[in-house]
Structure 1
Amino acid sequence: MLNFYPGPSKVYPEIRTYLSDAYDEGILGAPHRGEQFVQLSRATVGLLKRKINIPEDYYIFFTSGATECWEILIQSLTKHKSYHIYNGSFGEKWFDYAKKLRPNAEGLAFDLNEPMPVEQLKIGSDTELICFTQNETSNGTQVSATSILNLHNRYRDTLIAVDATSSMAGLNLKFIKADIWFASVQKCFGLPAGLGILVCSPRAIFRAKQMAERGHYNSLVSMYEKMLNYQTTHTPNVLGIYLLRRVLEDRPFVKALDQELVDRSQNLYEFFSQFQDIQLLVENEEVRSRTVIALQATERLVDDIKKRALHHNIRLGNGYGPWLRNTFRIANFPAILDEEFEELKRFFLHYYA
């Protein structure tokens, strides 16, 4: 089965070997307060910083996934309100979740064909956290490095948090331009679901210490204190962390992966532009995602394409949110091989023959 679903997506084939190694090395039953886990945690943090260009003075934490990070950040870094900028379902869900914890949270929606409207933002000085999704999985858009830089320059005194679930470990993100980044590993990391990576700047940790919120097992200040010894506040996904370490050891540096994904996405956008009955959902090239390609057609055609693809052992991604029925999505993640995309192209050429 060729898997182009945008998460959980294809895992690296080496995972089979890593799982066997984990059993043989005794990591599956290792105490999470023991030296074996501490060494694993320390090594994994070091590899994350080295392989995907996380600044040395930033802190890294392990969570259950990106959704948990929404909760951690709102409860541990805001007393009053956060401000959410979004153009798709996942950014909006983060905003909705924030309002449940902090009813004063504010948000601004923008069109999927427009860049993030940094110059139009009116964010008050009482806002403690600015939140946005760098790569919106639901509609195949992205916020450019230039927009992130402009936001960083305009609101230097406010913490900025970025959901990078569909881009971290695939694109060469400029972590220094925001205080918090987070992702789940079932996309560009090429791993099974069930592990999240939370990256925090020294400034974010300083704010967490100031708030000193300790009412939850995943309170950020408690997580920070435990991670000083490379431990977690709770029993972590030890196997997930082990697999993450092994994948990072064997993968190229993110700069090389970034170039591969950018080139391949351009090729895919050009390929799908030739079909009259299928349109690129995102018309503006500037804001198209490099890791999730969203394609639009009639509901009937979308349904037929997905069924025929599945018959040929090709799994395409469903649409999501407002685009559920009239779009399908294709993951462009590092674990998916070029030859698999060539087979995907052959399917579409045959479909329209």
Structure 2
Amino acid sequence: MLNFFPGPSKIYPEVRTYLTDAYDEGIMDAPHRGEQFVQLSRAVVGSLKRRLNIPQDYSIFFTSSATECWEILIQSLTKKKSFHIYNGSFGEKWYEYAKKMRPEASGVRFDINEAIQVEGLNISSDTELICLIQNETSNGTQVTATTILNLHNRFRDTLTAVDATSSMAGLNLKYIKADIWFASVQKCFGLPPGLGILICSPRAIFRAKQINERNHYNSLVSLYEKMLNYQTVHTPNTLNIYLLKRMLEDRPFIKQLDIELTDRANELYEFFGQFTDFKLLIENEEVRSKTVVVLEANERLVEDIKKRALHHNIRLGNGYGPWQRNTFRIANFPAIGNEEYEELKRFFLHYYV
């Protein structure tokens, strides 16, 4: 089965070997307060910083998912309000969840074919955290590094948090341009679900210490204090952390992965742009995602395409949110090989040209 679902997506085939090695090395039942886990945790943090170009003074934490990071950041870095900039379902869900915890949270929606207009944003001075999605999986849009930097510079006194779930470990993100970044590993990391990566700047840690919120098991200050010794507050997903270590060791550095994914994204957009029965959902090239391609058609054709593809052992991603019935999605993640995309192209050429 060729899997182009945008998460959980295809895992690296080497994971099978990693799993056997984890069993043989006693990783699966290693005490999470023991030296074996501490050494594993230290190695992964170091490898993440080297391989993904994360600043050395940023802190890295292990969580259960990116969704858990939504909760951690709102409860630990805001007392009253956050501000959410979104154009799709996941950004909106983060906003709606924040309002349940902090009723004064506010936000603004922007169009899927427009870049964020930083100069036009009206964010009050008492806002503690600005939240956005770098790569909106539901509609295949992205926010550029320049936009994130402009946001960070204009609202310099406010922390900026970026959900990078569908781009971290695939694109060369400029971590220095925001205070907080996070993702889950079931997309560009090419690993099974169940592990989140949370990255915080020294400024974010300083703010967390000032607020000193300790009412939850996953409070950021508690995470930070435990991670000083490369431990977690809860029993972690030790197996997935081990898989992450092995994956990082065997993959190219992020600059090379970014080049490869960007080139392949351009090829995919050019290829799918030739069809007339369906079209690219995002017309503005500037805001198109490099890792999730979204195609739009009438509901009947969308269902027909997905069924025909499945019959040929090709799994396409369903539409999501408002675009659930009239779109399908194609992941452009590192674990999916070029030859698999050639097979995907042959399928579409055979049936729809």
Alignment of 1:36-185 (within 5 A): 36-185=36-185
Say yes or no: does 1:340 pair with 2:331: no
For residues 140 and 125 of structure 1, what CA distance do their matches in structure 2 show? 31
Note the C-alpha offset of 1:86: 0.1
TM-score, with length taken from structure 2: 1.00
Distance in 1, matches of 2:215 and 2:147, equals 35
For 1:120 and 1:296, locate their aligned partners in 2 and report how far apart those are by CA, in whole Å. Answer: 30
Q: Deviations over 1:76-104 (max 9, x none)?
A: 00000000000000000000000000000
What residue number does 2:273 align with?
Answer: 273
Taking only aligned residues, the RMSD between alpha carbons, in angstroms, comes to: 0.5
Supply the AA of the counterpart residue of 1:314. I
Matched, 1:245 2:264: no
Shift of 1:149: 1.3
For residues 302 and 194 of structure 2, the distance between their equivalents in structure 1, rounded to whole angstroms, comes to 30
Code of the aligned partner of 1:68 = E
In structure 2, distance between residues paired with 1:251 and 1:190: 11
Partner of 1:301: 301
Deviation sequence 1:39-91 (CA, Å, 0-9, x none): 00000000000000000000000000000000000000000000000000000
Q: 1:246 offset after TM fit, Å?
A: 0.3
Write the letter of the residue equivalent to 2:161. Answer: A
2:292 aligns to what? 292
State the distance in 2 between where 1:146 and 1:19 align: 39
| Distance in 2, Cα, partners of 1:256 & 1:290 | 14
CA distance in 2 between counterparts of 1:27 and 1:318 reads 35
Give the drift of 1:117. Answer: 1.6
Structure 2: distance between partners of 1:114 and 1:346: 32
Q: Residue 256 of structure 2 aligns with which residue?
A: 256
1:156 Cα shift? 1.0
Q: What does the per-residue CA deviation read over 1:189-233, in whole Å, with 9 as the maximum and x for residues that have no partner?
A: 000000000000000000110111000000000000000000000
SS at match of 1:328: strand
Deviation, 1:174, is 0.3
Give the letter aligned to residue 339 of structure 2. Answer: E
Residue segments in structure 1 that go unaligned for 5+ positions in a row: none
DSSP 3-state at the match of 2:28: helix
2:3 maps to which residue?
A: 3
TM score, norm. by length of structure 1: 1.00
What is the aligned-residue identity percentage? 80
Alpha-carbon shift at residue 153 of structure 1 (Å): 1.2
Measured in 1, the distance between the counterparts of 2:44 and 2:274 equals 43
Q: Which residue of 1 aligns with 2:196?
A: 196
Any unmatched runs of 5+ in structure 2? none
Letter in 2 for 1:105: A
Output the CA distance in 2 between the equivalents of 1:155 and 1:352. 48
**AA at the equivalent of 1:13:** P
Amino acid in structure 1 at the alignment position of 2:28: L
* C-alpha distance in structure 2 between counterparts of 1:286 and 1:334, whole Å: 22
